[in-house]
Structure 1
Amino acid sequence: MTKLSAATATNPTNLPPRYEIRRLTEEHIPFVLAIVLHSNMFYSPVWPVVYPEEKTARVYKGYPAGDYLIRHQIESGHSFGVFDLEYKFKREESKPDGKLYWDLKDTTLDKDQLQDQMDFPLVSVALAYDGIDALDMAQIMPLMEVLPLFGTVYHTLEQADKRPGESWKPTAKKQVLMRNATSSRHDVEGKGIMKALAQFLMRYAHEQGFRGIQIECLADAVTKVWSQPPKPFKSTIVCEFNCGTLEEEEEVDGVKRKFKPFGDKCYQRATKVYCDLRPSEANGHANGAVEHPAVGALG
């Protein structure tokens, strides 16, 4: 364990020794943006399906647009990343901490070429912020313009969430942690890194005094990890919808019609999960939702 490791005796990394969990700081923002945008636009079960054209151009547009969302969470002090201690730099000039070589004007590159330009040891991220420090929606709008259906996901889940606000929303700091953005580099997927990082964050939040964590999920693996936490934590799938069956109504020339905003090719399940970090405590903050069996997330 190096001096940069966020692991403690009571909250171990639970990863192979080549990987280390560290708290993310401002210097990591370019790397975090690259991982989140690259993984979402090319490997998400949602975004490359509903936005199949000009994915590289959309990644580049998302780079400045996503800065606020990433920065807000990293500045909260509650965001962590997994670093590969055995990472082999592709370029000598990338040492010692890594470098991103994206040219935001060259849209001819494909996903593999973009990944080759991500020459840094950060391989996975879990971003979060204190729920009392809400996001400024005006500053989120540029990202909504890049991914219009990003707003549809959150709005639909919000409408389906029937919990009374007072049953779960924070009234002070360190009550509810809001998780937003779980992403790993494609070349490390399938190694259990996302799960280990998620469970590390659960233990961290509990030790910090938080009573719950809320996360919206757009991938089955993420829903599974967060809906099936290790004991003593207990999770509830608060609400969900299927992108392929969601319908909205619009009016064209005075005629109302229904349409599917996600089209006919995306059938991903979107969920909102609340992880109760103190289920045995009678604190009066039950999440108020009906528990669903777990099946099988920007997010």
Structure 2
Amino acid sequence: MTKLSSATATATATNPVNLPARYDIRRLTQEHLPFALAIVLHSNMFYSPVWPIVYPENKTARLYEAFPAGEYLIRHQIESGYSFGVFDLEYQFKRTESKPDGRLYWDMQDTTLDADQLLAQMDFPLVSVAMAYDGIKPLDKGRVMPLIACLPLFGTFYHVLETLDPRPEASWKPTAEKQLMLRNATSTRHDAEGKGLMKALAQSLMRYAHGEGFKAIQIECFADAVTKVWSEPPPFFRSTVISEFNTAELEVEEEVDGVKRKVKPYGDNCRQRATKIYCELRSSEPNGTAVK
């Protein structure tokens, strides 16, 4: 497995990440695809501030449906070489046959399992993921549609943020490799939450992208903790909230039987801030000179 520099685990003035020694940040490879996909789906279906509220029924069945549908999204980002995960070096396997790299034991036919039972079947040391890809090699929207069919408001989230984005496309869209990194999917498995893993991984990715020559990272956030981390980057990066909306206030127009009306797609019970954040990696260094 390819690792980030060991410096990513050392907190300094310019590298303010302090992961406990039991955790290691590594580049994700194809062998990690089912594990990364499981973490993303399990976290979103059961613990997101949005999806369990707007889709409260049949969550396990929806998760199973989204597993093959989401495979392309995760594979594209792993193949980019810019997706990383946090691994628990002290992870205790639940089953002997899971060693040494882990196993996923979901039975896609058994929809009776709850969130805890599904988590118990995620027997692998990967605990947090940050998926990303080079913006010059975009996702095939047609191949993402099966996932959107499972979570229709997932598409609404991106569409509204794009509509509210005031920037001319030429001001931010990449024209060559290693200009703009696009982040898509940040998740930590439920039994590893609250340890600062998402922040550590995000800030490591910022520094890694800077070292690779990227000018900026763009990310859409649907959780307050993610928005906070990406809107308050470490020195000497600079972030801007480009567009945002609140799910409880969002209204869209729909037409039924020739009659147009305003509706709230996320309903009244879901109250979450959605943001698109642009993190500039080459703003300034401590002496005020431009980062090259």
TM-score, normalised to structure 2, is: 0.94
How far off its partner does 1:7 sit? 2.5
Query: Which piece of structure 1 moves more, 274-283 or 258-267?
Result: 274-283
1:99 and 2:103 correspond: yes
After superposition, the C-alpha distances for 1:210-248 in whole angstroms (9 at most, x for unaligned) are 000000000000000000000100000001000111001
Indicate conservation of the 8 Å contact 2:219/2:278, yes or no. yes
- Which of 247, 259, 262 is residue 258 of structure 1 equivalent to? 262
Look up the match of 1:47: 51
Match of 1:121 among 110, 119, 125: 125
CA contact (8 A) 2:9 2:19 kept: no
Please state how far the C-alpha of 1:26 moved relative to its aligned partner: 0.3
**Alpha-carbon distance in 2 for matches of 1:178, 1:257:** 35
- Correspondence for 1:6 among 4, 7, 10: 4
Deviation at 1:252, TM superposition (A): 1.9
Match of 1:146 in 2: 150
2:215 to 205, 211, 214: 211
1:1-299 alignment to 2 at 5 Å? 4-9=2-7, 12=10, 14-280=18-284
Per the TM alignment, residue 10 of structure 1 is displaced from its structure 2 partner at its CA by 7.0
Unaligned runs of 5+ in 2: 11-16
Please tell me the residue identity of whatever aligns with 1:186.
Answer: H
Return the offset for 1:14.
2.9
Deviation at 1:282?
6.5
Poorly superposed stretches of 4+, deviation over 6 Å:
none
Q: Provide the C-alpha distance between the structure 2 equivalents of 1:127 and 1:160, rounded to a whole number of angstroms.
A: 24
The 2-side partners of 1:33 and 1:69 are apart by: 9
Give the Cα separation in 2 of the matches to 1:122 and 1:260: 37
Q: How many residues align?
A: 281
Extract unaligned runs of 5+ from structure 1: 284-299
How large is the Cα RMSD of the aligned pairs?
Answer: 1.4
Secondary structure at 2:81's aligned position in 1?
coil
Q: Which amino acid aligns with 2:73?
A: L
Q: 1:6-55: CA deviations, max 9, x gaps?
A: 22447756310000000000000000010000000000000000000000
Hey, what's the Cα distance between the residues in 2 that align with 1:221 and 1:99? 29
Q: Could you report, residue by residue, the CA deviation over 1:153-172 in whole angstroms, capped at 9, with x for unpaired residues?
A: 00000000010111111100
Contact kept? 1:11, 1:204, Cα under 8 Å: no
